[in-house]
Amino acid sequence: MYEQVSHSLLNDILIELDPSIRGEGLRHFYTRLGANFYSIHALFSVLYGKREDFREHMQGLVETMARQYVLRPEHLRHSDLEREKDHNWFLNQQWVGMALYADGFAKDLPDLTQRVNYFQELGVNLVHLMPMMQCPKGASDGGYAVSDFRQIDERFGTLKDLQALAGELRKRDTLLTLDVVLNHTSNEHAWAQQAKAGSATHQDYYYIFANREVPDMFEATMPEIFPENAPGNFTWDEDMQKWVMTVFNSYQWDLNYSNPAVFIEILDIILYWANQGADILRLDAVAFLWKKIGSVSQNEREAHLILQLLKDCCQVTAPGVLFIAEAIVAPVEIIKYFGEDAINAKECEIAYNATFMALLWDAAATKNAKLLTQGIKSLPDKLERATWLNYLRCHDDIGLGFDDNDIRAVGYDPYAHRQFLIDYFTGKYEDSPARGLPFGHNDKTGDTRISGSLASLAGLESALEANDPERIDVAIKTIVLMHGMIMAFGGIPLLYYGDAIGTLNDRTYLDDPAKANDSRWAHRPRIDWERAELRKTPGTVEYRLFSALKKMIAVRKEVAAFADFNNRELLDVGNPHLFVFARFDTTQPMNKVLVVANFDAHPQHLNMEDLGRKAFFRHASVRDLYSGERPALFNGELVIPPFRFYWLTDQ
C-alpha cells in the first residue's frame, strides 16, 4: 500500500511539474526517477514527513533533479549510460589518484591545464582538486569556508577555466574529483548575510539561538574540533545578537539539515558541480550533518539518511557520478558511510581509509607491524560495490585515533604509545629523523595531531640537512615502502601532490598571519617546478622517488589481483616486523599475489614452506612483480631486506 501511495504522489508531482522542464529529452530521467522514487519518498518522509510543507518541498525536490538533468551536457549523459552498464568500473586496479591544491600544484587552473602531462608521466588518472569555490581571503579554512557555492574563487581562475581543464582530463581518460562542503558555509555566504540582516527564512538555514540555554545543552556532550584556535561549538554574532553553531571555526556556520530547504539547496549544488564535469564528488565533513542534543552530534542516523537521499537523487540525474565520504572516524563508524544492510553502496561508494593511513605511520615509527596487523584485523569488510581511498598524506593532519583495545592487544599502553608517536613525529624523541609539527593540541585530553609533509615525516628533510647518504637512502626506502602498501591493499591509492618528488615542509606559512596558527599549511606547499625537473636527472632524490612510484603504478595497473572485490587475506606470520597479506584475482582465484613488507631496520625472514602448505604458491620459485627479481631464499626462508616490500607471485 505504501508503495502505491508513493507512486500516486509521483504522478501528482509530474502532472504539476514546471512546464519549462518537460520534454522528449527526459526519457532516461523519468525511467530513473520511477526506479528510485519509492526510496526517495521514504527517506524524505522520515526526515521531513511531519512538516506541513512536506508536499511543497517534495515537489521542489523533483523539480531540482529535473532542472539539473535538462542542463546536463550530452557527453556526460552518455558517460552515465556507459557507467550504468559497467557499474563496478571504479573497482578496477587501473585507477590511481592524486590530491592537490590547484594554486599549489600550479599557479591557477589555466596553468594546471598546461601541466596535465605530469599526471600521465607518473601514471595518475584521477585528479582531486581541493576546494576552489569562492571563499573569504583571510578566514577561509583552506577553502572549506565557502561564500559562494557556484563560483570558482578568482585566485584559481573562472568556471570556464575549470571546464577547459575537465575537457583536457577527459581526453586523457582521467577522472576529475571536486569538493563540496556539506556541513557549513562561510559567515560571508549570502544565506548567512541575509540571516544577519534579520531574515527568519535564512536564520532557519543555520542553528541560531537567542540565548545560551540550548547551546549549553549541546556543549555538554559535543567535543571540540579545534580546541586551540576555535574552542567551543557556538559563536556570538553581534549583528543578530544571537548565538550561531560553529563546530569547526567561528566563521563557519553549520547548516541546519532539519530544514528541507537546506537539503534541496545542497542537492542542487551537488548536481550543479556534477554538470561541470566532475566524475567524483568529495562530500566534506559528512559525519557532522545532523545535530542532536545529548549526543556528540557526529555519525547520527539522520546523517546517513541524508547521504542515502543525496545518492538516490544523484542516481536519477547523474548516475555516473560517485561520492567520497570525508569521515575521519573509527573503523566501525566509517564503514557505515558506504551504507548499512546493503551489498551495494547506498550512501558513498568511496571512503577514506584513515585507519590504514595512521597504522602505516605507526609501523614507520615503531619499526614493527604489530599494531598495523592488529588494526587491520579490526577493520570491517567493505561492501561489494564500494572501495577505499588509501593514502599516506593529505591536506589535513594525522590523527592517532587507533582503537585502545587494539593498542592494548599488542602490549602497549594507549596513552603512552600515542605520546611516543607524537614525540617521534615532531622530532622530540631521541634519534627520531622525523620533522613533523604538532597540531590541534587539546589541554583537556592531551590529544595532539601531527602535521608535516610525507618526506619530512619519513626523515628525508633531516637526512638532507645532515647530508647523510645512508639516512637519505633509508628515508627514500621508507617512502617507497609505504606507497607499496597503499598500491596493493585494495582500493584507490591516492597520492598527495609533491610526494612523488620528495617535497619537504614549507615553513613560509609562518610569515602569513592568516595561516601562522595552523601548522597544516606546512604540508600545503607551492610546487617548485624547477626542482621538479630534477625528476628527470638520474641520481637525484627527485628522480629516485619519481621513478620508483612511476614503476610501481605501472605494475599495479597490470595486476588483476589488485582490483578491489574484497579479495584480500591478512596473514599473521609470527614475525612482528612483517606486514603480510595476500591478494587474489577473483576471475582466477589461484592467481595470487603475496604482499610482504619489512618495516624494520634489519633484514627479516619468512618461512615460505609454511605458506606453500597453505596453498599460496604452487611452484618452488617466486618472483617480485615490482622489481622483476627473484628474491633471496635459503632453506625455504625468504629474506626481506630492511625497509623493503615484495609483491610476490609464482606465475
Q: Which residue(s) pair with 281 in the sheet?
A: 178, 323
Supply φ then ψ for residue 30, to 5 degrees: -65, -40
Name the strand (E) or helix (H) holding 190: helix 190-196
Buried b (16+ CB within 10 A) or exposed e, 97-117: bbbbbbbbbbbbbbebbeebe
Catalytic residue among 63, 284, 312, 542: 284
Supply φ then ψ for residue 234, to 5 degrees: -135, 150
The amino acid present at 532, given as its one-letter code, is A
C-alpha to C-alpha distance for 563 and 91, rounded to whole angstroms: 6
Strand 148-152 with 133-134, pairing? antiparallel
User: Which of 394, 492, 392 has the alpha carbon at shortest distance from 142?
Assistant: 394
- CB of 524 within 8 A of CB of 453? no
| Beta strand segments in 401-455, E | 437-439, 449-451
Catalytic residue among 279, 326, 585, 624: 326
The amino acid present at 606, given as its one-letter code, is L
- CB of 405 within 8 A of CB of 364? no
What is the four-CA torsion angle of 594, 598, 604, 605, rounded to 10 degrees? -10
Rounded to the nearest 5 percent, the helix, strand and coil shares of the chain are 45, 15, 40
- In the residue annotation, 284 being an active-site residue is answered as yes
Tell me which long-range contacts 503-511 makes (C-beta under 8 A, separation of at least 24): 503/453, 503/455, 503/527, 504/435, 504/453, 504/455, 504/456, 504/460, 504/461, 504/464, 505/435, 505/437, 505/452, 505/453, 505/456, 505/461, 506/453
Q: Which three cell numbers stand for residue 527?
A: 610546487
C-alpha to C-alpha distance for 215 and 235, rounded to whole angstroms: 10
Q: Which three cell numbers stand for residue 358?
A: 595512521
- In the residue annotation, 564 being an active-site residue is answered as no
Active-site amino acid positions: 284, 326
